[in-house]
C-alpha cells in the first residue's frame, strides 16, 4: 500500500460507523456525505486542483475538510489555511473541532489563528508612548495608557480581545503593531517579547492556520509566476462560507477614505487645540502650522462634495449613497497641501533620533501617500482610463447633517482577479458552503468568480425535510411594494402574530427593512407580552450575540432580525421551531455597486434580473431557510409572507431551491376590511 492509500484508508475509517467519531460521540450517526466530502477534498489536494463543494447543514463539513487537509499537509510539509466569514465559525474551529482532532488523530499537528496585526500590542511602541505620553495624550488618555501598560505585564497573547476594559482608540492606535513600525528588524529578535512577531513565529510552525475572509484578502497580494501558495509559499486554502468571498474580495481591492479618517490621522500628527501629537517629538513647527490648514480644507472638501451629491440632488433626503458618473465632480483642493506636507515629512527623516522614530514617521508618510492616491483616483477616475469597469460613489454614515462622508470605488467584475490569483495552476483552493448552487447548478458562482475550470460536488442533505419541515404560504397577502403603506404593514403584522402564536413563540422573524421591523415590533410587543412571549428586536446598538443568547435561553421568545440574522445563526432544538420570512430578499437596486453590476450585465446583452438580482435573492433566501433545521431531531414550520413566490413566474426558482417538503397554501384567516 502506498502512503496515499494508507491515508485514504485512515480518513475513511475516521468517519466510518465504527471509527474515531463514533467512539467519541454518543448517538453518532454515520453520514455518507461527510465521508464523501473528505474523499473529494483529499483527491483535489493530491491533484493540485480547485473545487466547489456545496455541503448542506448537518453534514459536519468542518471535520470533512479538516481531516483530509491535516493528513495531506503533514505528508507534504504544507500549511492548511482555513478562511471563514463569521467569528462564530472561527471559535467553533479553534475551541472545539481542532482541539478534538489534536486529541484523537494519530498525527500530531499545530494550529493557530492569524489576526490582523492591529489586534496585537507592540511592547516597543508601548514603551515609546509611555516616554512621550505628555506629548501624545491628554490626562484621560494617559490613564488609559497606564492601564494598558499594567495589562501588558499580565496578558498571554497581547491581543485586543484579551482586554478586560475599554481602550481609547487613539491610545490603542499609538501602541498596536503597525506595518513599517513593528517589523522583523525592530521587534523580531529570537527572544522577542513582541506579541505580533511572536504570534507570527508560532504560526510559521503551525500546520493549520485560521483566518477570516477580510484578513485573507488584506494580506493576500497576488501570486507571482513561480510561487505556489497564497499567504505562505507552501499552503493551500479552504474557503468555508464561500458564498461571501466575492463581496469581501471586492471590498479589499479598492480602498475608501472618509472625512473623519483623514481628520483622525492629521490630528495624530498634530492637534493644535490640545497641543499633542507625533510632530511634537521632532523639529516641525512649519508642518504643524500646515496641519490646521489641511484640516480646514478636509472639512471644506467633504462639505462641498456632500452638498453637490446629496443636498443639491432631488429626492436625496433619505439616501446614503450617491453614484459619481463623471470625472472632476469637484476640485481636489486637498492635493496641493497633501503633496506639500508629504515633502515636509520626508525631509524630517534625517533628524529622527533613532530607527523607531523614523519607522513611525515612515508609516505616516505611507498612509498619507495612500490617502493622496485614493483622492486623486476618485476625482480623476483613473481606473476607468485602463478600460476596467469601476464604479465610484460617495457614502454617508447617516442622514444627520454632520454625518461622516466617504468616497468609495469598486471593480464591477472581479472574475479575472480570481481567475489569475486564486484558481492558478499548481495551487489548490476548496470553496465550500451550504449555498453555492442556483437551481441545482454552480453556474452563477462560476461566472462571477471566473471559476470555469473548477470541479464541483453537490452533496445530499442528511435531513428528512419532508418529515421535519412544513412550509406555509398565505395566498392573498398583499405583494410587498412600498413597505411604509399602512395596509401592507397592518396585514403583515397580523400574519406574523398568527404564525407566531401557532408555536407559542420559538420564532425567528427575518426582515429586510429596519423601519418596518421596529414599527411592527412596537405594535406587537404588548400582544406577545400578554401571551408571555418576550419580543427581542435587532436595533442599532443592541449586541447581536446578546440577542441570540437570550433567544436560545428563553425557549418561548421571539426574535426580529435583519440582514446579519439571515446567515451564521445556529439555534438547534425547540428554541427555534418557527421561521418567518417577511419578504423575498431582493436587493434594492439603489446602491451604486448593485446598479453597476446590473448595467455591466445588460451592456453585454444579458438579463440583469435573471443573471444577478434573482440569483442573489435565492442565495440569501436559502441562507435564511437554513436557520430552522440544524439537527436531525429539529422540527418546525417556515412561513413565507410574500405571495410572489406563488404568483410570479420566477417564484418557482425559490421553491426549487428548497429541499422537498410539505407546502401548504394558506387561505385568509381574517378579513382586513373588518378591522
Q: Dihedral of CA 271/274/280/281: which sign?
A: negative
Map 91-136 to HEC letters. Answer: HHHHHHHHHHHHHHCCCCCCEEECCCHHHEECHHHHHHHHHCHHHH
In a domain, 369, yes or no: yes
Which are the contacts of 93, defined by CB distance < 8 A and separation ≥ 6?
62, 66, 82, 84, 210
What pLDDT score does 114 carry? 87
Same domain, 42 and 71: yes
In a domain, 258, yes or no: no
Same domain, 19 and 159: no
CB 176 within 8 A of CB 159: no
In a domain, 257, yes or no: no
Residue that is last in its domain, among 373, 389, 411 = 411
Residue that is last in its domain, among 192, 217, 233 = 192
Distance (Å, rounded) from C-alpha 510 to C-alpha 640?
10
CB 212 within 8 A of CB 248: no
Q: Taking 70 as the threshold, does the pLDDT of residue 387 lie above it?
A: no
> The domain containing residue 373 runs over which residues?
271-411
Which are the contacts of 396, defined by CB distance < 8 A and separation ≥ 6?
306, 310, 319, 320, 321, 403, 404, 405, 406
Distance (Å, rounded) from C-alpha 624 to C-alpha 512?
11
Same domain, 359 and 421: no
Same domain, 106 and 124: no
Phi, psi of 79 (to 5 degrees): -115, 145
The three-class DSSP label of residue 223 is: coil
Which are the contacts of 463, defined by CB distance < 8 A and separation ≥ 6?
56, 57, 58, 629, 632, 659
Distance (Å, rounded) from C-alpha 54 to C-alpha 45?
17
CB 339 within 8 A of CB 372: yes
DSSP sequence for 370-413 = HHHHHHHHHHHTGGGGGT--EEEEEEESSSSTT--EEEEEEES-
Helical (H) or strand (E) element with 521: helix 514-530
Categorize the per-residue pLDDT at 384 as very low, low, confident or very high, splitting at 50, 70 and 90: low
Same domain, 184 and 310: no
Categorize the per-residue pLDDT at 313 as very low, low, confident or very high, splitting at 50, 70 and 90: low
Distance (Å, rounded) from C-alpha 674 to C-alpha 668?
13
Categorize the per-residue pLDDT at 376 as very low, low, confident or very high, splitting at 50, 70 and 90: very high
Same domain, 374 and 490: no
CB 208 within 8 A of CB 69: yes
Residue that is last in its domain, among 428, 458, 488 = 458
Same domain, 545 and 443: no
In a domain, 280, yes or no: yes
Rounded to two decimals, the pTM is 0.88
What CATH number is associated with residue 654?
A: 3.40.50.300
The three-class DSSP label of residue 50 is: strand
What pLDDT score does 269 carry? 92
Categorize the per-residue pLDDT at 675 as very low, low, confident or very high, splitting at 50, 70 and 90: very low
Give me the residues paired with residue 258 across strands.
406
pLDDT digits (tens, 9 = 90+) for 564-612: 899 878 888 888 999 999 999 998 888 899 999 999 999 999 999 999 9
DSSP for residue 278: G
Average pLDDT over residues 162-169: 89
Distance (Å, rounded) from C-alpha 244 to C-alpha 623?
11
Categorize the per-residue pLDDT at 124 as very low, low, confident or very high, splitting at 50, 70 and 90: confident
Same domain, 179 and 104: no
Q: Taking 60 as the threshold, does the pLDDT of residue 236 lie above it?
A: yes
Same domain, 319 and 390: yes
In a domain, 434, yes or no: yes
Residue 515 has which C-alpha cell?
423601519
| Choice among 307-311, 419-423, 503-507, 552-556 with the minimum mean pLDDT | 307-311
Distance (Å, rounded) from C-alpha 432 to C-alpha 393?
32
Same domain, 301 and 368: yes
In a domain, 256, yes or no: no
Q: Taking 50 as the threshold, does the pLDDT of residue 3 lie above it?
A: yes
pLDDT digits (tens, 9 = 90+) for 256-279: 899 999 999 999 999 988 888 899
In a domain, 77, yes or no: yes
Same domain, 512 and 584: yes
Distance (Å, rounded) from C-alpha 428 to C-alpha 45?
6
657 burial (CB, 10 Å; 0-12 / 13-18 / 19+) is: middle
Same domain, 108 and 123: no
In a domain, 259, yes or no: no
Rounded to 5°, the CA angle 191-192-196 comes to: 140
Distance of CA 328 to the CA centre of its chain: 32
Rounded to 5°, the CA angle 483-485-488 comes to: 75
Domain count, the chain: 4
pLDDT digits (tens, 9 = 90+) for 86-112: 888 888 899 999 999 999 999 999 999
Amino acid at each position: 500500500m502506498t502512503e496515499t492509500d494508507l491515508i485514504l484508508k485512515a480518513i475513511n475509517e475516521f468517519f466510518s460507523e465504527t471509527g474515531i467519531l463514533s467512539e467519541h460521540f454518543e448517538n453518532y450517526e454515520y453520514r455518507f456525505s461527510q465521508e464523501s466530502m473528505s474523499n473529494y477534498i483529499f483527491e483535489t489536494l493530491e491533484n493540485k486542483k480547485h473545487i466547489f463543494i456545496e455541503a448542506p447543514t448537518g453534514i459536519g463539513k468542518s471535520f470533512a475538510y479538516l481531516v483530509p487537509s491535516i493528513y495531506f499537509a503533514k505528508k507534504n510539509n504544507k500549511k492548511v489555511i482555513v478562511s471563514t466569514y463569521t467569528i462564530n465559525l472561527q471559535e467553533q474551529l479553534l475551541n472545539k473541532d481542532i482541539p478534538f482532532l489534536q486529541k484523537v488523530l494519530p498525527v500530531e499537528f499545530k494550529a493557530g489563528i492569524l489576526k490582523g496585526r492591529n489586534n496585537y500590542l507592540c511592547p516597543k511602541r508601548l514603551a515609546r508612548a509611555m516616554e512621550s505620553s505628555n506629548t501624545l495624550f491628554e490626562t484621560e488618555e494617559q490613564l488609559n495608557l497606564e492601564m494598558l501598560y499594567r495589562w501588558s505585564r499580565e496578558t498571554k497573547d497581547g491581543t485586543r480581545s484579551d482586554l478586560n476594559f475599554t481602550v481609547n482608540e487613539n491610545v490603542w492606535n499609538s501602541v498596536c503593531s503597525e506595518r513599517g513600525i513593528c517589523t522583523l528588524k525592530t521587534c523580531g529578535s529570537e527572544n522577542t517579547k513582541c506579541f505580533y512577531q511572536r504570534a507570527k513565529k508560532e504560526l510559521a510552525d503551525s500546520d493549520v492556520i485560521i483566518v477570516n475572509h477580510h484578513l485573507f484578502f488584506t494580506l493576500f497580494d497576488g501570486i507571482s509566476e513561480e510561487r505556489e501558495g497564497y499567504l505562505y509559499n507552501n499552503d493551500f486554502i479552504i474557503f468555508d462560507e464561500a458564498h461571501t468571498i466575492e463581496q469581501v474580495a471586492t471590498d479589499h481591492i479598492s480602498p475608501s477614505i472618509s472625512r473623519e479618517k483623514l481628520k483622525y490621522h492629521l490630528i495624530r500628527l498634530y492637534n493644535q487645540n490640545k497641543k499633542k501629537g507625533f510632530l511634537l517629538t521632532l523639529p516641525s513647527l512649519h508642518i504643524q502650522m500646515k496641519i490646521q490648514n489641511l484640516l480646514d480644507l478636509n472639512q471644506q472638501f467633504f462639505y462641498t462634495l456632500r452638498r453637490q451629491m446629496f443636498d443639491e440632488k432631488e429626492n436625496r433626503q433619505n439616501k446614503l449613497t450617491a453614484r459619481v458618473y463623471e470625472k472632476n465632480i469637484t476640485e481636489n483642493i486637498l492635493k496641493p497641501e497633501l503633496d506639500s506636507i508629504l515633502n515636509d515629512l520626508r525631509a524630517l527623516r534625517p533628524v529622527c533620533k533613532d530607527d523607531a522614530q523614523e519607522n513611525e514617521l515612515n508609516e505616516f508618510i505611507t498612509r498619507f501617500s495612500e490617502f493622496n492616491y485614493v483622492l486623486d483616483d476618485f476625482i480623476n477616475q483613473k481606473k476607468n482610463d485602463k478600460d476596467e469597469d469601476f464604479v465610484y460613489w460617495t457614502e454617508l454614515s447617516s442622514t444627520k447633517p454632520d454625518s461622516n462622508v466617504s468616497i468609495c470605488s469598486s471593480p464591477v467584475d472581479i472574475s479575472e482577479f480570481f481567475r489569475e490569483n486564486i484558481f492558478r495552476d499548481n495551487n489548490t483552493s476548496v470553496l465550500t458552503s451550504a449555498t453555492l448552487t442556483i437551481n441545482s447548478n454552480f453556474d452563477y458562482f462560476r461566472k462571477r468568480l471566473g471559476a470555469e475550470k473548477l470541479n464541483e460536488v453537490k452533496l445530499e442533505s442528511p435531513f428528512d425535510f419532508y418529515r421535519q419541515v412544513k412550509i406555509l404560504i398565505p395566498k392573498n397577502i398583499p405583494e410587498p411594494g412600498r413597505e411604509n403603506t399602512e395596509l401592507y404593514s397592518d396585514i403583515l403584522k397580523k400574519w406574523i402574530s398568527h404564525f407566531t402564536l401557532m408555536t407559542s413563540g420559538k420564532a425567528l422573524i427575518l426582515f429586510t427593512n429596519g423601519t418596518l421591523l421596529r414599527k411592527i415590533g412596537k405594535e406587537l410587543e404588548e400582544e406577545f407580552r400578554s401571551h408571555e412571549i418576550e419580543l427581542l428586536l435587532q436595533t442599532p446598538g443592541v449586541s447581536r450575540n446578546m440577542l441570540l443568547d437570550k433567544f436560545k435561553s428563553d425557549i418561548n421568545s421571539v426574535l426580529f432580525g435583519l440582514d446579519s440574522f439571515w446567515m451564521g445563526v445556529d439555534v438547534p432544538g425547540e428554541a427555534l421551531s418557527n421561521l418567518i420570512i417577511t419578504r423575498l430578499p431582493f436587493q434594492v437596486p439603489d446602491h451604486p455597486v448593485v446598479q453597476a453590476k446590473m448595467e455591466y450585465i445588460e451592456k453585454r446583452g444579458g438579463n440583469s434580473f435573471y443573471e444577478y438580482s434573482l440569483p442573489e435573492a435565492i442565495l440569501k433566501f436559502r441562507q435564511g431557510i437554513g436557520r430552522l433545521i440544524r439537527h436531525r431531531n429539529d422540527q418546525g414550520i417556515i412561513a413565507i409572507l410574500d405571495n410572489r413566490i406563488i404568483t410570479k413566474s420566477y417564484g418557482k426558482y425559490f421553491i426549487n431551491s428548497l429541499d422537498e417538503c410539505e407546502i401548504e397554501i394558506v387561505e385568509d384567516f381574517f378579513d382586513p376590511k373588518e378591522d
